[in-house]
Structure 1
Amino acid sequence: MTDINSNLNRGRTIARWVLAIIYFGAGLLHLYFAEALLQIVPDWVPFARHVVFFTGLCEIIGAVALLTRSLRHAAGIAFALYALAVWPANIKQAIEGIPLGQMQLGWWYHAPRLAFQPVLIWWALFAGDLITWPFGRGRDPQKAE
């Protein structure tokens, strides 16, 4: 059983670092390319420019929080909710064929991107030590990470 927990902890640590790097980079891109990202924000979102800037900051702060033991659970929940919340923007980009900068993206990009969103939600919960599924049952309170 110790081997399973050790492998689970190692896998979770890798998942956590990779997700933190992805979100940190995405946060920087949100801040740097805010104007381009405004195109995919649904019309019903108020203060779109502020939302894009705020989400970039949240991604950067969340990435650091995910790597901080005392903030890990909160970051995992926040990133799972965030991935769910930005799904409408991804759907709008796909349906309206909005390019990413100067690059026109087709369904070869959008279909996997939209299908990956539930995986991203799971990944946030797994990296945040909130779930072990499908690798175990519940949370492992005995982790010595």
Structure 2
Amino acid sequence: MSFLILLTLLSLIAYAAGRLFKRRLPLRDAMRLGMGCAFLYTGLDHFMSGATRYVPMMPDLLENYAFELVWLTGGLEIAGAVGLLLPLRVYQRLGLPNLRGWAGVGLAVLLCVMVIANINVAVTGSHVAGLDFGPWYYWSRPFFQPVFVIWALYAAGVYKTSSLRENTL
């Protein structure tokens, strides 16, 4: 739920900034920028707080690889964030196709895999540093995962709308 608050807040800031600078920012782009910034933050946090926040979330089955998996998921989150945040002009200048869709799908798959850690925390009654909200919070987290998956796919443009206008940021 804290990720949902961060994601929503960052998306609203992106949308408001577009309005402030008199540049109409489509909702999809505001959601993409919000998700990119949110994953950039959490990805970096995997490296800064990995041992205290993320390693304890890992199931016992993965404890031998917990630290490496935390760093891997942090790196993948940063890669996905960069894929969402890069302007299309950068992709074009580098001669690359638009990788936003791949970034969104990659983040969606990562979110599906990471739900294992969220379920583990709820079932084992573990505690996550910095998230001192009680057991109800840990039990609610897995139920928000589909929201994040759909958000990632929509924001990355995997879900097409009937609009003829392409994202241009």
For 1:82 and 1:62, locate their aligned partners in 2 and report how far apart those are by CA, in whole Å: 10
Change (3 A) 1:103 1:129: closer
Task: Specify the SS of the correspondent of 1:131.
Answer: coil
Structure 2 length normalisation: TM-score? 0.70
Deviation at 1:48, TM superposition (A): 1.6
Structure 2: segments with no counterpart, 5+ residues? 1-24, 89-97
Structure 1: segments with no counterpart, 5+ residues? 1-8
Task: Specify the SS of the correspondent of 1:86.
Answer: helix
| Equivalence for 1:111 | 139
Change (3 A) 1:54 1:94: same
Identical pairs, percent: 30
After superposition, the CA RMSD in angstroms is: 2.0
| Superposed counterparts of 1:98-137, under 5 Å | 98-101=126-129, 104-132=132-160, 136=161
State the number of aligned residues: 132
> Which stretches of structure 1, 4 residues or longer, exceed 6 Å deviation after superposition?
none
| Superposed counterparts of 1:1-145, under 5 Å | 10-36=26-52, 37-45=54-62, 47-68=65-86, 69=88, 70-101=98-129, 104-132=132-160, 136=161, 142-145=165-168
Amino acid at match of 1:49: F
| Equivalence for 1:5 | none
